[in-house]
Amino acid sequence: MKLSARNQFVGKIIELKKGPVSTEVVVDVNGTTVVSSITTGSADTLDLKVGDEVQTVIKASNVMIAKDI
């Protein structure tokens, strides 16, 4: 699958927090934690499990940066 998003990272699911409507997917990408909130229906369709290798795709129109001054 080809996507226009350039920020694509492969990692392993380390935690799933399933709710009735949404599921939080926690992915370890080379020691960095990436967290995604998706619908539980999507999580079920993808049959996500802890330990699965997945690709994270980050596409954002706004990126915020803060620094203590």
How many domains, in total, are found in the chain?
1
Statement: residue 61 has pLDDT above 90: no
Region for residue 56 given its phi and psi (left: phi exceeds 0; alpha: psi -120 to 50; beta: otherwise): beta
- CATH for 37: 2.40.50.100
Is there a domain that residue 44 lies in? Answer: yes
- Give me the mean pLDDT over the 10-29 stretch: 97
Q: Domain residues for 20?
A: 7-58
Contact 36, 42 (CB under 8 A): no
How far from the centroid of its chain's Cα atoms is residue 39's Cα? 12
Q: What pLDDT was estimated at residue 52?
A: 98
Which range has the top average pLDDT, 5-9, 11-15, 32-36, 58-62? 11-15
Q: What pLDDT was estimated at residue 62?
A: 76
